[in-house]
Structures are given as C-alpha cells and as structure tokens.
C-alpha cells in the first residue's frame, strides 16, 4: 500500500514534473516567440534606418559625382577663360568711348594739318618775290621763241631717224630730236610757273634788241617764209620728205646745219641777258651741244662731197 502511495506520489510528482516541464516549455516557447516578435518589430523599425543609410550613401555618391562634375565644369570654364584671354585684342568689341576718343583724335590731327598747310601757303603767298627771282623779258621771250625753233628741229630729226640712208644720219637725227624735245619740255615748264603764254602772242624775237639782229648775213636771215632765222621753209620741208638715199642725207645735213646756225645767236643773247640762272645755263648747254653737232655735220657733208647752204 505504502508502495503504491509512493508510486502514486511519484506519478503525481512525475505528472507535476511533466506539467511543470510542459509549462516551462510553454513558457520558453512563449518567450522565444515573444523575442522573435520583438526582433521582427526591431527589424521593421530598423529597416527605415537602413533605407535612410542607403539613401544617405546614394546622396553622398551623387554629391561626389556632382563635385567631380562641377570640378570638370569649373576646369572647362577656366580653360574657356584662358582661351578667351588668349584671343587677340582686335577681335573684341571696342568700347564706344574708346572709338569716340580715336575719332576725335583723328579729326583733331586733320584740323592741325589743315591749319599748318594754310599757314604755310598764306606766308608763301604773302612773301614778296625778290626782284632777282622774277623772269625778265629775255627769259620769257627766249623760252617762247626757242620752243618754236626747236619744234622744227625735232620734226626734221624724226624724219632723218626713219628715212636716213646712212646709219650716221639716222643716229644724228635721233640724238637731235630727243635732246631738243627734252629742252622744249623744260622751257614750257618754266613758262607755266611764270604764268606766261607758251608762245609769244605777237611778233617773234622782240625780246632781242634789234629784233633779228645778228641772225645771219645771207638772204635766209629773215624772210616772210620763215618765222626765225635758220628755219626751213614749207617748200624745203616737203622736199626733205620726198628725197631718199644719198640725196636725203645731204639735204638733211644742209638744213639742220643752217637751223643750228640760226639758233646760235638766240642762245648767245640769252646767256648774256637772261635773269634766271637756269635759263642762262640751258642756253649755254645749247651752244655747247649744237656747236659739236655743227662740226660733225660739216665733216659729214665734206665726206659726201657737198657744201653747206648759205646763211
């Protein structure tokens, strides 16, 4: 009996122990479930924090990229600034005030130049010309009449240059034509500066005392057919154009020699009585050059067996 009671007690103990164990197990499971629930709740609460962290990380990454991009942009901007700084100044638009300053300075410079030129011209016009610098009647008359005399020599020289039979005559004609044509240009230029007519309006040779005095002693010294001594008549000029060969050479040398003789007295008178030094120098050069040419023509006529024309 006692044994059974013990057994019963043991069973009760065992039952109680089992119940306790069961209760303990239930309690443990409940605690575990509660802990798991708390962990789940904690996980849910932490998830936003984790998301915020990720978003923070993304924002930081974006900021870094922006910073890099901004740095690149800033670098590009600096490079553009450097390129712009390297551009030449003339490529940039000039400020309005600078243009106005330049235009004003240019206008002022023009005004100063104009005023200076006007002042110089005014003084030059108001300064009286010295008496020794004014041309006299001989200066003007010599340049007018010698220009007329020279023109016929130029014409004869051109004919000889083209129609001369011998080379010596052609060369002589070219030399006389070119030399006297240049002298005509000088004399006409002086007449223009002196406001004098290019040709005497009235009778020729009036600037020489005695008119044609000293211009030859023969019948050709003065006639109605020639305006000045030594010049060929129209009939003689037509004959010269018609001739050829040796006859042309002889007649050309005769006419040109007499022409030079007629101009000698004019040049001698200008050397003695002209006031302008340049006119006197030109007249002297005519005497020198034509004197040499007359010697050559006399020698050429002698070689051709001909005589000079009377003067």
Tens-binned pLDDT, residue by residue, of the chain (311 aa): 444 434 444 444 444 444 444 444 454 555 556 666 666 655 544 444 444 444 444 445 555 445 454 445 444 445 545 444 444 444 456 677 676 777 777 777 776 776 676 665 556 555 555 666 899 999 999 999 999 999 999 999 999 999 999 999 999 999 999 999 999 999 999 999 999 999 999 889 999 975 444 444 444 555 557 789 999 999 999 999 999 999 999 999 999 999 999 999 999 999 999 999 999 999 999 999 999 999 999 999 999 999 999 99
Does residue 24 share a domain with residue 169?
no
H or E segment to which residue 299 belongs = helix 277-303
Other Cβ atoms closer than 10 A to 274: 24
Q: Are 246 and 301 in contact (CB under 8 A)?
A: no
**How crowded is residue 279: how many other Cβ atoms within 10 Å of its Cβ?**
24
Q: Count the domains in the chain.
A: 3
Residue 260 resides in a domain: yes
Q: Do 36 and 75 have their domain in common?
A: yes
Q: Determine whether 108 is exposed, middle or buried from the number of CB atoms within 10 Å of its CB (0-12, 13-18, 19+).
A: exposed
Considering the domain architecture, whether residues 260 and 196 belong to the same structural domain is answered as yes
* End residue of a domain, out of 103, 126, 149: 126
If asked whether residues 151 and 284 sit together in one domain, one would say yes
Establish if 275 belongs to a structural domain.
Answer: yes
Largest separation between any pair of C-alpha atoms in the chain: 212
Residue 220 lies in a domain: yes
Last residue of a domain, one of 89, 116, 147: 89
Within-domain flag for 310 = no
Residue 191 and residue 293 in one domain: yes
Of 258, 270, 253, 264, which Cα lies nearest the Cα of 218? Answer: 258
289 & 154 share domain:
yes
- Examine residue 117 and state whether it is found in any structural domain, yes or no: yes
Helix (H) or strand (E) holding 121: helix 96-126
**Could you tell me if 142 and 204 are in contact, meaning their C-beta atoms sit under 8 angstroms apart?**
no
Assigned token pair, 257: 């020699």
Shared-domain flag, residues 62 and 108: no
Cα first-last separation, the chain: 209
CATH of the domain at 152: 1.20.1260.10
Q: Does one domain contain both 155 and 79? A: no
Indicate if 85 and 161 belong to the same structural domain.
no
Mark whether 265 and 188 lie in a shared domain.
yes
End residue of a domain, out of 126, 150, 173? 126
Q: Which domain holds residue 111?
A: 93-126
Per the domain annotation, does 9 fall within a domain? yes
The closest of 144, 216, 241, 126 to 184, measured between CA atoms, is 144
Burial of 170 (0-12, 13-18, 19+ CB in 10 A): middle
pTM of the model: 0.58
Owner of token pair 């006859």: 247
Based on the fold, state whether residues 241 and 289 are members of the same structural domain.
yes
């Amino acid at each position: 009996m006692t044994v059974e009671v013990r057994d019963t007690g043991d069973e009760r103990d065992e039952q109680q122990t089992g119940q306790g164990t069961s209760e303990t197990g239930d309690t443990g499971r409940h605690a575990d479930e509660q802990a798991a629930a708390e962990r789940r709740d904690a996980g849910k609460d932490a998830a936003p924090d984790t998301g915020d962290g990720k978003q923070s990380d993304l924002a930081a990454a974006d900021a870094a990229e922006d910073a890099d991009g901004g740095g690149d942009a800033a670098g590009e901007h600096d490079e553009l600034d450097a390129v712009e700084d390297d551009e030449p100044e003339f490529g940039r638009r000039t400020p309005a005030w600078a243009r106005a300053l330049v235009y004003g300075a240019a206008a002022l410079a023009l005004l100063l130049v104009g005023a200076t030129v006007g002042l110089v011209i005014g003084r030059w016009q108001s300064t009286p010309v010295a008496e020794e610098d004014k041309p006299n009647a001989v200066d003007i008359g010599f340049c007018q009449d010698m220009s007329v005399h020279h023109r016929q020599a130029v014409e004869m020289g051109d004919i000889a240059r083209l129609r001369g039979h011998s080379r010596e005559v052609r060369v002589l004609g070219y030399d006389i034509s070119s030399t006297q044509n240049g002298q005509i240009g000088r004399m006409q230029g002086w007449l223009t500066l002196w406001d004098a007519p290019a040709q005497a309006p009235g009778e020729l040779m009036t600037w020489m005392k005695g008119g044609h005095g000293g211009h030859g002693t023969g019948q050709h010294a003065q006639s109605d057919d020639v305006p000045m001594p030594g010049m060929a008549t129209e009939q003689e000029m037509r004959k010269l154009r018609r001739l050829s060969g040796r006859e042309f050479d002889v007649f050309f040398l005769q006419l040109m020699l007499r022409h030079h003789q007629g101009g000698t007295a004019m040049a001698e008178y200008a050397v003695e009585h002209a006031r302008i030094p340049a006119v006197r120098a030109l007249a002297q050069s005519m005497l020198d050059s034509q004197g040499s040419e007359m010697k050559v023509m006399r020698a050429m006529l002698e070689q051709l067996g001909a005589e000079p024309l009377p003067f």
